[in-house]
Structure 1
Amino acid sequence: MDEVALLKDLVSRYSPTGEESKAVAFLVEEMQKAGFKAFVDSTGNAVGILGDGPNEIVLLGHIDTVQGEIPVRIEGDLLFGRGTVDAKGPLACLTAAAAQAGPQPGWKIIVIGALAEEGDSRGAKEILHTYHPHFAVIGEPSGWDRITLGYKGSAWIRYRVEKPMSHSASGKQTACETAVQFWNRLVKQTHQWNASTTRVFDQVTPSLRSMHSEQNGFVDTAELEINVRLPPAMPPERLMQEILLLDDEGTVNLLDGIPAYRGEKNSPLVRALLQAIRSEGGNPTFSLKTGTADLNLVAPVWSCPCVAYGPGDSNLDHTPNEHISLSEYRQSIRVLTQTLKTITQGAS
């Protein structure tokens, strides 16, 4: 398997959320050529399995990207294109590393290119009970010498308030003014929650994502959609309980919520990754991400050592200048190949 051609051709198949089928078909075909038992599952995920046995390792990446096609090109060591970092680079790394490690006695190495991670994560949600891995690596950009142990949680909230129409000279508070006051109270409350913390991973961070208002001659309506990034100490359910205390004029609904996840440093999987990074001349470090990934969904259900790992600078996620270093990409493949051999051969 030509790992650079794999990545370049995968990135060339533009696949924003909801339009992944061409990229899925390509990845399945490439895995079949490399000796995987590869197929498109009932959800539409690309799945490739190497080997057979009672033990499973799942290498879970996502094949969708955000919107915004970027011309695919190589300039020196850099490959430009949408998804090179988030997260086709890591997905191609998972695929190439599994192919290079090859089948291992007693193990199934399962590579999955999941749908809709940038959307509703239905690709990951549909496989939660299909696989029962002993180890799992989630393909996300960490940098070749860093291991991501956790991601913050997330809650999407809709606030809506309705008020009877009144004349602009009446002095009565409008629905828009009430919504703004709610947002200001929420921001003030998060400052209080965060007063005793300095690390962003441990803080509650709200973001106002959309505003809408309308009038029909009788009712004045305002609506806000808010995303709140959550630390481990604040699961979505607790956030909702706290938010309901902030306002008694409007209605607050939790549209979607996922708790934060933080894994353990001392596991056979982490030890194998540390060893492999050092063997490549790296000084391994750990990171905790302020975003959210499929790791948050699968790790609590699978209850096995789980980390996120992959090449790429996450500061380039979703940007118009998204690109990846090909030398770093190759290093990550070597690291993960060695890791797979170590954990399957029990030398951790």
Structure 2
Amino acid sequence: MNAEIDREDGGEAEAETETESVAESQSQSETTPDAEVDAGVTPDADADTDALDEGEWVDARHLLYDMVSTPSVSGDEEAAAEVLKAFFEAHDREVWIDEVGNVRVPADDAVLLTSHIDTVPGDVPVKIEDGVLWGRGSVDATGPLCSMAAAAVETGVSFVGVVGEETSSRGAWHLVEDREEPDAVVNGEPSGWDGVTLGYRGFLSGTYIATSELGHSSRPEENAIQSAVAWWSRVADFFDEERDGVFDTVTTKPVTFDGGPTDDGLAVEATVDVQFRVPPRLSIDDVREVAEGELTRGGVHWNKPIPPVMMSPRTDVARAFRVAIRNVGGVKPRLLRKTGTSDMNIFAGTWDCPMATYGPGDSDLDHAPNEHLDLAEFDSAIDVLVDVCERLADD
């Protein structure tokens, strides 16, 4: 899930994957990406691959193992895309890879299943122990991706594996520009097999730039560096408010700060790269207006924003998940909202159709060095997705 990064330039920023119950609005989790490890994948020769041949969804388990064993860091998804494409070809589905690298599987548009192919860097040795698959992407989001691929084959609905979600979301942006709106969307990210995510905060980033005349340090006038510090302090103070849960709060973060004399020695320049997480109670414009209203010098160059999203629990998609989760496991479904950002934000900002985000796995393990997925949970998620797709196709 791309909650952890600068969505415009791909630079790493804060980790923010807190999950809140829609019913209780209570914070559940927060993780920090393992940014120091390499991007390789190391399959374990002694892995208990016999577990792949257990249960109803044998082909899906093998796809999951093959995909997790194939490096797919953002920007280098080609090999994994070919593995995914071959899975659909083996099941006689029309499939192609589009110009940005998305794996496209057109069919019944009663529901579009979509998740991301790419992962963050990190060498988590691929192994299976006691029915649990370890490896980078097993949770975020190769597990959700492969569960959706299996459900798409089983039910005949549309599927897209998108690229670049962990950086610029280039796959999702291309998709909303290149195809018509489906009747419903299920986006793939870990929610746990018995949970469904209905909301995400939005994302706004930009660069503040100010210059001032270079003068002696004894002069009382504020220089560009002081202006930058003062501006950001005012903005952060404005959004420093007490609310119930992080989800309803605007999170403000300075990412980089740089300042000093210009190359010609005639001026002082200051730049600050800033990020905002925007709750659905506000719009991107609301936050931008506050930030610009606090300017006394300089200006802000804004990057392409990602709007917040909060879907009603009463949509056809949400209802289908509630029924399916009860049918599969006999448990009460968990309705979630997350403090980060996902491709569902992009889909909801363009397509006027019901949608939700779903997938097996514990989002606390997103980007973690111990990322792993229980194969029994993976199977249960496929059962839920098949039930959901059949219900939506029958409506």
Could you say whether these structures have the same fold, taking a TM-score greater than 0.5 normalized by the shorter chain as the test?
A: yes
Q: Could you tell me how far apart the structure 1 residues matched to 2:223 and 2:62 are?
A: 58
Greater per-residue strand proportion:
1
Are residues 208 and 318 of structure 1, via their aligned partners in 2, closer, same or farther at CA, if it must alter by over 3 Å?
Answer: farther
Are residues 75 and 170 of structure 1, via their aligned partners in 2, closer, same or farther at CA, if it must alter by over 3 Å?
Answer: farther
What TM-score, normalized by structure 1, do the two folds share?
0.90
Alignment correspondent of 1:210:
256
**Which digits, 9 at most, give the CA deviation of each residue in 1:163-207, with x for residues without a partner?**
23334455654433332222221111101xx34x31322111111
Quick check: 2:139–2:371 contact (8 Å CA) kept in 1? yes
2:251 aligned partner, one-letter code: T
2:291 aligned partner, one-letter code: I
Alignment gaps of 5+ in structure 2: 1-57
Alignment correspondent of 2:66:
9
Alignment correspondent of 2:235:
186
Alignment correspondent of 1:106:
none
Alignment correspondent of 2:79:
22
Alignment correspondent of 1:63:
117
Quick check: 2:225–2:260 contact (8 Å CA) kept in 1? no
Q: Could you tell me how far apart the structure 2 residues matched to 1:224 and 1:67 are?
A: 26
- Alignment map for 1:192-231 (pairs within 5 Å): 194-195=241-242, 197-215=243-261, 216=263, 217-231=265-279
Q: Could you tell me how far apart the structure 1 residues matched to 2:244 and 2:184 are?
A: 32
Alignment correspondent of 1:277:
325
**Which digits, 9 at most, give the CA deviation of each residue in 1:44-78, with x for residues without a partner?**
2011235x5xx432101111122333222223233
**Which digits, 9 at most, give the CA deviation of each residue in 1:122-149, with x for residues without a partner?**
2111121513311110001111111111
Quick check: 2:114–2:185 contact (8 Å CA) kept in 1? yes
Quick check: 1:14–1:69 contact (8 Å CA) kept in 2? no
Is 2:128 the partner of 1:74? yes
Quick check: 1:312–1:328 contact (8 Å CA) kept in 2? yes
Single out whichever of 127-136 and 16-25 deviates more from structure 2.
127-136
Q: Could you say what secondary structure the match of 2:95 adopts?
A: strand
- Alignment map for 1:257-268 (pairs within 5 Å): 257-268=305-316
Aligned residue-pair number: 334
Quick check: 1:261–1:296 contact (8 Å CA) kept in 2? yes
Alignment gaps of 5+ in structure 1: 104-108
Q: Could you tell me how far apart the structure 2 residues matched to 1:303 and 1:243 are?
A: 29
Single out whichever of 144-153 and 300-309 deviates more from structure 2.
300-309
Q: Could you say what secondary structure the match of 1:37 adopts?
A: coil
Is 2:155 the partner of 1:102? yes
RMSD: 1.9
Over the matched positions of the two proteins, sequence identity in percent amounts to: 35
Q: Could you say what secondary structure the match of 1:126 adopts?
A: helix
Q: Which of 323, 331, 342 is equivalent to 2:380?
A: 331
Is 2:159 the partner of 1:111? yes
Quick check: 1:150–1:289 contact (8 Å CA) kept in 2? yes
Q: Could you tell me how far apart the structure 1 residues matched to 2:180 and 2:131 are?
A: 37
What TM-score, normalized by structure 2, do the two folds share?
0.80
Alignment correspondent of 2:4:
none
Q: Which of 251, 271, 282 is equivalent to 2:299?
A: 251
Q: Could you say what secondary structure the match of 1:118 adopts?
A: coil
